[in-house]
Amino acid sequence: MQKVAAELKTFERDERDYAARWGGEEFVMLLSDTDIDEVFNVAEAIRKRVESLVIPTEAGEETKVTLSAGINAIYPEETNTYADLIEKADQALYRAKEEGRNRVTRS
């Protein structure tokens, strides 16, 4: 989890972007001034980077992990709340898992 978190942090572009652990094995990343297409590109780049990681296990072996991502975007003129943003992204995440994992799905 620490290696995945470290990778997410490398995609923060400035002090307005924020990556953090969100529950058990989930993370959240907020990107400011970013449209849905660019959010998709960033999420896909993160997914590929995580997929390429080799992570040592406690038994001294190596393992790989994959990443499923649900993405969403809101714009200042819309009436959506941050709770709406998270809920729709979470729904997209579960769709990504249902569709076979290791993919990025838009809300």
Q: CA 74: distance to chain centroid?
A: 16
Q: Which of 43, 28, 33, 45 is nearest to 105 (CA)?
A: 43
Give the span between the Cα atoms of 50 and 48, in whole angstroms: 6
| Residues recognised as catalytic | 25
Which residues are bridge partners to 18 per DSSP?
Answer: 30
74 with 84: CB under 8 angstroms? yes
Strand locations in 6-107 (E): 18-21, 27-30, 55-56, 62-63, 69-71, 104-106
